[in-house]
Amino acid sequence: MKTQAMTEQLELYGCIQCGKCTGGCPVARKTTLNIRSLIYYMLVEPELKVDAHEELWDCTSCFTCVERCPKDVRPAELIIALRGQLVEGGRIPETIGAALMGTFRQGNPAGMAREDRSAWTDSREVKAAQDGCDLLYYIGCTPSYDIRAQPITRALARAFTVAGLDFGTLGIEESCCGNEIRRMGEEGLFEMLVEENGEMIRAVGASRMVTVSPHCFNTFKNEYGLDGIDVLHYTQLVAALIEQGKLELANEVNKRVTYHDPCFLGKQNRVYDEPRAILQAIPGVELIEMDRNRERSLCCEGGGGRMWAEGTNLEERLAFQRVQEAADTGAEILAVACPFCLLTLEDAVKVRGLEEQLRVMDIMELVNLSLGEE
Amino acid sequence: MESKPRIGVYICHCGVNISATVDVEQVAEFAATLPNVVVSRDYLYMCSDPGQGLIQEDIETYDLNRVVVASCSPRMHEPTFQGAAQQAGMNPYLVEMANIREQCSWVHSDRERATEKAKWLVASVVAKAAELSPLEEREVDVTPGSVVVGGGVAGMAAALDVADAGFPVYLVEKSERLGGRLAELNRTFPTLEPVADLIGPLIERVQTHPAITLFLNAQVTNVEGYVGNFKVKVTGQEGERQVEVGSIIIATGYDLFDPQRKPELGYEYPNVITSLEMEQRLFDGDLAVNGREPQRVTFIQCVGSRDVQVGNPYCSRVCCMYTAKQASLVKDILPNADVTVLYMDVRTFGKGAEEFYDEARAKGVRYRKGNVSEIYRRGERVVLSGEDTLLGQPFDWETDLVVLAVGMESRADISELSTMLKLPRSADGFFLELHPKLRPVDTAVNGVFLAGCCQGPKDIPDTVAQAKAAASSALIPLLKGTVPVESATAVVDADLCAGCGMCVDVCPYGAPALDLLWGVSKINAVLCKGCGACATACPSKAINLQHFTPEQILAQVDALVG
């Protein structure tokens, strides 16, 4: 691959090789991925053999490199662009291929049947957004299909009902947001999703939309160009509902809780305070911070397509490190606000044998407990 | 109206700057055919002595009464050619310039079309030249004395030079003491001289100098007037006082970057400190962390500098050297400790600086290339996450004490002075000098000069050099006793003026005022900068901007489109 065009397009010339990108990269420590060195290569060499860089699939798109760059270069975008070259050439891990195909065929990377997308409702009545509503509740793939994530989806629907919001969902017409698709390098499929989803979302006419996952939130907010629609992550909306007195958290949840900032919510969109405000509003919750919080939160390794690709070093998972950090605080609950974080960290708790000590829960599950029996 | 215009036209090659793109000979031939043109020439460098001599000879030989020079921007050389004409006995306001460099040769590549454009530009200016009138050059008396704002090393150095030249100086310092930021430092690089030895005598001289009036705990709260005659209001604990001076020197210094704006660098930890805090520790000789001697001391460069994220794209110029100094001193105190500097580039300009850097490394200070991305805590130590960019390996370096080499920023309160004096600032937030190379201490406001870090980050030698430069520039009007004032000013035709006051509202310099007795506007020619805002705003067309009269401008336009 010739380097010049991509170097210009991504404005890599700003790079001064300070090393803050790789220096902050959580996976650079365990694999051969070195984004600083890749940028240098792009700057000084006319050609790059992109096939030789299997480690490109190790990147989690946490965007710490982007966050840290003092020159506003966006190193992670180079990885996405290089993955795009691999996708175009068809040289991609089998599991990535399956995720892309599943999205193309069934509208979700797991390749589950489109007809089952509303299974999370457990036969509860949910209004169709297509009939018009104030708030579009966009569910997302993992919160729709994954049994572990579905309780969050239901808890949110319940909270919106309790707060008296006029909300609706797109039902089985809803498709993958494409956030992970773009980061896996499949720009074409992503653009198709943006067009189809964008059209459907605008047609609803809602003034606000809310997502379960920070990943969906990120792409709708920053990449869809949904002008006039206020895109919210659920933590922002729920924090506001509590603040306005529309959600009464009556029941005590007497737990020591620590909170893990998801990369797509924290680092990439600077939503740090609202999740903490919710936790602190739950009676009985004692919030303890891990040392690496907010801007320094450690990635769980679930982003950037990594839910569908293992990467090159399975042994040293960042999630193992993270759950140990959480356990070391003495917390009983590791709270998250992202379905990917929930799955990766819960897995790590099991592998690390910390189940007796630490439970991973989504913030909405704690809110649901505090709301009491349905 | 005087006798018929006799115009000389001079087309400059500017080496090849113009002639490479514009056929200058052809332009000169063309100019010779224009009305009122008596002589037309092209020459390699019009601004050179022989070039100016050519104009002067022609004025004599051909009895010229107008000169048109087609060359660079008038901002560059108008005063040069006006001076040359004046020496030959011509009123300087009878000289006009056509900009065929910045506005033609430098921005075009097609030689034929650029030549055509140059011809148009020359024709237009020749047409205006025919309409020019001589203007009277005027001067006003200067109030002897200077105000110096800021009592740091820059302010003190500048104040002493002006005072030593025999003029009264009013030194205004915001805090309760002299010495500024320098007084907070321990030793200086590269000589390791104790700051007290450097600054003590300076403070002593300022305090005892008979020509210096010192205002501590005081601020400049209002400035009126113009070069030669400023009225400066100083507000302090003893109330307000107005002083009258001929020039002003701004030496208000800088702010340190607040590392809390880089939360990933863990400044909240007690063992992560700024370089300024390190100065104090070195002064006290106390490097202990949690009561123990540190085994590892690590310095991090470029905190808040070369960083567009925090809006500071510039290099702060002093951090590389003060870090080398501090690391070297730490190594002296703790010879067995690991002293590491994490850097992205080491910049050691300045006398003795590279040599000092060499000595620090020879002493055992380790330089590792790679700036730190993140700092977090592990037990009593902190971990620095970064990448050794030369090895291409990420590191997680445990250390006992971290020093953040914080950079310089413009002062948080800089906008107050900037608004009060109408002093422009550059994109980096510091005060803007009039020209980056040729007028480094001048400002857009005549009679106001800059010294030290209020203009941009500097080390002590550069600060003092600039302070002394500002002092000598500030002395020029004081020594001359008079200042020339702009002649191309606006004038009001009292018969046409309706006294609406629109000119008073639009003028950025406070030059027009309504005459209470006659109910018409009058323009203070000393304050007027000739910008033309009032002439444009005046609904009665009662204001005429001299040297840019409607007749002159329309003649120019006619030559282009007529």
| pLDDT tens, position by position, B186-245 | 999 999 999 999 999 999 999 999 999 999 999 999 998 889 999 999 999 889 999 999
Which strands, in side-by-side order, build the sheet including B229-236?
B219-226, B229-236, B239-245
Mean of pLDDT over chain A: 96
- CB B52 within 8 Å of CB B84: yes
B7-137: CATH architecture:
3-Layer(aba) Sandwich (3.40)
- Rounded to 5 degrees, φ, ψ at A66 are -70, -40
Please say if the pLDDT value at position B365 is more than 70. Answer: yes
Residues 6+ away with beta carbon under 8 Å from A214:
A233, A262, A263, A264, A265, A268, A269, A271, A337, A338
- When pLDDT is averaged across residues B412-441 and rounded to a whole number, the result is 94
Please say if the pLDDT value at position A182 is more than 50. Answer: yes
- CB B91 within 8 Å of CB B135: yes
Please say if the pLDDT value at position B82 is more than 50. Answer: yes
- pLDDT digits 0-9 by tens, A318-335: 999 999 999 999 999 999
* Chain B interface, best mutation among A63, A293, A296, by max B CB count within 10 A: A296
Q: Give the right CATH number for B146-253+411-483 from 3.30.70.1140, 1.10.8.420, 3.40.50.970, 3.50.50.60.
A: 3.50.50.60
Measured CA to CA in angstroms, residue A302 lies from A60, B64, B146, B251, B265 at distances of: 6, 83, 66, 54, 25
Q: Give the right CATH number for B490-545 from 3.30.70.20, 3.60.20.10, 2.60.40.420, 3.90.25.10.
A: 3.30.70.20
In which element (H, E) is residue B68 found? strand B66-71
- When pLDDT is averaged across residues B478-488 and rounded to a whole number, the result is 90
Q: What CATH number is given for A4-89 in this structure?
A: 1.10.1060.10
Q: Tokens 């990933």 belong to which residue?
A: B264
The answer to whether the Cβ–Cβ distance between A292 and B376 falls below 8 Å is: yes
| Confidence bin at A312 (pLDDT 50/70/90) | confident
Residue B374's pLDDT is what? 97
Q: How many CB atoms are closer than 10 A to CB B558?
A: 12
Measured CA to CA in angstroms, residue A8 lies from A4, A11, A121, B254 at distances of: 6, 5, 48, 37
Its pTM stands at 0.84
Please say if the pLDDT value at position B432 is more than 70. Answer: yes
Q: CA-CA distance, B348 to B537, in Å (whole number)?
A: 53
| Smallest Cα distance from B474 to chain A, Å | 39
Residues from chain B that touch A25, judged by Cβ atoms under 8 A, are 394
Rounded to a whole number of angstroms, the CA Rg of chain B reads 30
Q: For residue A296, which of B409, B403, B295, B378 has the smallest C-alpha distance?
A: B378
Q: How many CB pairs under 8 A join A and B?
A: 81
Rounded to a whole number of angstroms, the CA Rg of chain A reads 20
- pLDDT digits 0-9 by tens, B154-181: 999 999 999 999 999 999 999 999 999 9
Residue B1's pLDDT is what? 44
Q: CA-CA distance, A327 to A290, in Å (whole number)?
A: 9
Same topology, domains B146-253+411-483 and B258-407? Answer is: yes
CA nearest B369 in A: which residue?
A: A18
Mean of pLDDT over chain B: 95
- When pLDDT is averaged across residues B416-442 and rounded to a whole number, the result is 94
Residue A156's pLDDT is what? 98
CATH class of residue range A95-242: alpha beta
Q: Tell me whether the omega of the peptide bond preceding residue B440 falls within 30 degrees of 0, making it cis.
A: no
CATH topology of domain A247-371: Rossmann fold (3.40.50)
Written as one string, the DSSP assignment of B175-234 is: SSSSSGGGGG-SB-TTT--BHHHHHHHHHHHHHH-TTEEEESS-EEEEEEEETTEEEEEE
- CB A100 within 8 Å of CB A203: no
Q: What percent of chain B has pLDDT over 70?
A: 100
Nearest to B306 among A25, A67, A70 (CB): A70
One-letter amino acid of B466:
Q
Cα A105–chain centre separation? 22
CATH class of residue range B258-407: alpha beta
The answer to whether the Cβ–Cβ distance between B373 and A20 falls below 8 Å is: yes
Residue B377 CB-density burial (10 A; 0-12 exposed, 13-18 middle, 19+ buried): middle
- When pLDDT is averaged across residues A341-348 and rounded to a whole number, the result is 97
Please say if the pLDDT value at position B2 is more than 70. Answer: no
- When pLDDT is averaged across residues A46-52 and rounded to a whole number, the result is 95
Do the bridges between strand B401-406 and strand B296-303 make them parallel or antiparallel, or are there none, so unpaired? parallel
- CB A370 within 8 Å of CB A331: no
- CB B452 within 8 Å of CB B446: no
The domains of chain B are located at: 7-137, 146-253+411-483, 258-407, 490-545
The answer to whether the Cβ–Cβ distance between B373 and A23 falls below 8 Å is: yes
Q: In chain A, which residues fall in CATH 3.40.50?
A: 95-242, 247-371
In which element (H, E) is residue B130 found? helix B111-130
ipTM field:
0.92
